[in-house]
Structure 1
Amino acid sequence: MGTLRWLLDAQVHIGGSAVLWREIIGNVFGLASALLGMRRLVWAWPIGMLGNALLFTVFLGGVFVTPQAVDLYGQAGRQVFFFAVSVYGWWRWSRNRRTGTAPDAGAVVPRWATNRERALLLGMLVVGMALAYPALKALGSWGPLPDAWILVGSLLATYGMARGWVEFWLIWIAVDAVGVPLLLQGRFYPSAAMYGVYGLFCAWGFVSWLRTARVLRRRTESAPSHVEVVA
C-alpha cells in the first residue's frame, strides 16, 4: 500500500505548478510504447497499457484528486478504449509474429490502407464524433469538442496501428495538434509537452514506416511465395 499511496500522491513542482509523478510516468510509458511500435515490436502493446492505466487516474482529476481537479472525460475514456483496442493489437501482432507474416521478422507488415479501409476509417470517424461529442458535453467534460476528437482520433490511430496501416501516424499527428493546446489550457503540462514530442516522433515514425512499407513491398513482389499476408 505504501508504493500505491506514493504513486497516487507523489508530486514534483515545475515552474511553480504541482505535477503528479503518475502523469509523468504514464506519459513515459506512452512514449516507450510509441518507440516500440515504430520498430513493430509486440511489447509496444503491454507497455502502452500500463501507461493507459496510470493516465486514466490523471484525467479524472475530480475523482482521483489531482492538482488540476479537472475532469477530461474524453481523455480518461480513451485510456479505457486504448486498453481494449490494445488487447486486440497485442493479440494480432503476437499472431503475426508467430506465423512470420513480415519477411523482416517484424510483428506487422506496414502498408497503406485500401480505399475501402479508408472509407471505413472515415465512417468510424463520423459515427464516433456524433456519439462522443454530445456524450462528453452532457457529462460536463472540459472542452468537449476537442476532447471528442482526441478520443475518436486516438482510437482510430490505435486500430490503424494494429492493422499496420501507415496512415495511423498521420492521424496521431492530427490528434497531437489538437491535444497540445487543450492540455496546456487545462494545466496538464507533462501531457501537453509529451503530445508535442509525440507529434515530432509521429512524423519520424511515418517516414520510417513508409520506407519499410516500400522495402517489404519490393520483397513481396520479388518473392511472393515467401510472404503470408494475414487479413
Structure 2
Amino acid sequence: MSILTELYDAHLVIGGHPIAWREIVGNAFGLASAVGGMRRRVWAWPVGIVGNVLLFTVFLGTALGGHGAPLFGQAARQVFFVAVAVYGWVRWRAARTTADAPAVVPRWATHRERIAYLTGAAVAIGFCAWLFMQVGAGWPAPGWYYLADAWIFVGSILATFAMARGWVDFWLVWLAVDLVGVPELLYFGYYPSAVLYGVYAAFVVWGFVVWLRASRDERPRIEDPRTEVVA
C-alpha cells in the first residue's frame, strides 16, 4: 500500500505549484487517444479509458486527498467518458471490416440529429450547472465557474458520443469545449491539462480537416439520409 500511496502522491513542483504525475500521464493517454480517434482506430477507446481513470483522481483534487481545487464537472465527465468509450469501442469494433481499415466513414449529423443533440445539450447544461452548485455549496468559486464546468462536462460527453457515431460535428464540439476549458484550468492551476487543451485546440482543427476530407472521399455513391454509414 505504501508503494501505491507514493505513486498516487508523486508530483512535480513547478513555480511553487504541485503538479501530480497522474495529471501528466493521464493527459498523455488522452492525447494518444485523440490521435487514434483522428486515425479512426479502435485502440483509441481503451487508451482513452486509462487516461480517464487517472484524470478522475486528479480533478477531485483535495476532495480525494490530492492537490488543487476540486473541479466536479471535470471529474464527473471522466466517469461518463468511460461509459461512452465502452460504447464507442464496441461500435467501432463491430463496424471495422479489416484489422487495418478505419473503423468508420465520417459523416455530418443529419439536421434532425443536430437539433436533437443541441437541444439536449442546452437542457443538460442548465441542469448540471445547478447540480454542481449544490454539490459545491460553500466552496468560494467564482460565479462563472458552475456554468463553465457544466458546459465542459456536457460538451465533452457530447463530443465523445458524436465521435462514436462517426459524426464530423464532434471536432467542432471539442473546439468549443477547449475554448472554455483552457481558461478554467489555468485559473485553477491545472497547468498540464491547460497546456494539453491548448494542444488539442490546434489538433482539433487538423482532425476536423482530416475527417471532413474523409467524409467527402469515402462516402458511398448512393446515400440514404436515414441510414448511418459505417465501414
1:230 to partner: Cα distance: 4.8
1:39 and 1:109 map into 2 onto residues whose CA distance is 11
| Cα offset, 1:122, TM superposition | 0.9
Quick one: distance in 1 between partners of 2:196 and 2:134?
28
| Aligned equivalent of 2:16 | 16
Residue 156 of structure 2 aligns with which residue?
A: 154
1:106 partnered with 2:102: yes
Q: What is the distance in 1 between the residues matched to 2:230 and 2:33?
A: 23
Aligned residues: 221
- What's the CA shift for 1:16? 2.7
Q: CA deviation at 1:3?
A: 4.7
| Structure-to-structure mapping, 1:187-226, within 5 angstroms | 187-217=189-219, 220-221=220-221
Aligned mate of 2:120, from 111, 119, 124: 124
Whole-Å separation in 2 of the counterparts to 1:3 and 1:51: 20
Aligned-partner SS, 2:42: coil
**TM-score computed with the length of structure 1 as normaliser:** 0.90
Equivalence for 2:179:
177
Q: Which runs of 5+ in 2 are unaligned?
A: none
Q: How far apart in 1 are the matches of 2:7 and 2:92? A: 31
Task: Please state how far the C-alpha of 1:123 moved relative to its aligned partner.
Answer: 1.7
Paired AA for residue 78 in structure 2 = Q
Which residue matches 1:144? 146
Which of the pair is proportionally richer in helix?
1
TM-superposed CA distance for 1:124, in Å, is 1.6
Give the C-alpha shift of residue 156 in structure 1: 0.5
Taking structure 2 as the reference length, what is the TM-score of the superposition? 0.90
Identical-pair percentage: 57
Could you tell me which amino acid in structure 1 is paired with residue 48 of structure 2? G
CA distance in 1, matches of 2:178, 2:216: 26
1:229 CA displacement = 3.1
Residues 69-99 of structure 1, C-alpha deviations (whole Å, 9 max, x = no match):
x1111000000000111110011001001xx
**In structure 2, C-alpha distance between the alignment counterparts of 1:216 and 1:95, rounded to whole Å:** 19
**Structure 1 79/112 Cα, relative in aligned 2: closer, same or farther at 3 Å?**
same
The aligned residue for residue 88 of structure 1 is 87
Structure 1 CA distance for aligned equivalents of residues 50 and 161 of structure 2: 18
Q: Report the secondary structure of 1:13's partner residue.
A: strand
Q: CA deviation at 1:121?
A: 1.1
1:5 deviates by 2.2
Runs of 4+ in 1 over 6 A off after TM superposition: none
Shift of 1:14: 1.9
CA distance in structure 2 between the partners assigned to 1:169 and 1:31 by the alignment: 14
> 1:109: Cα distance to partner?
1.0
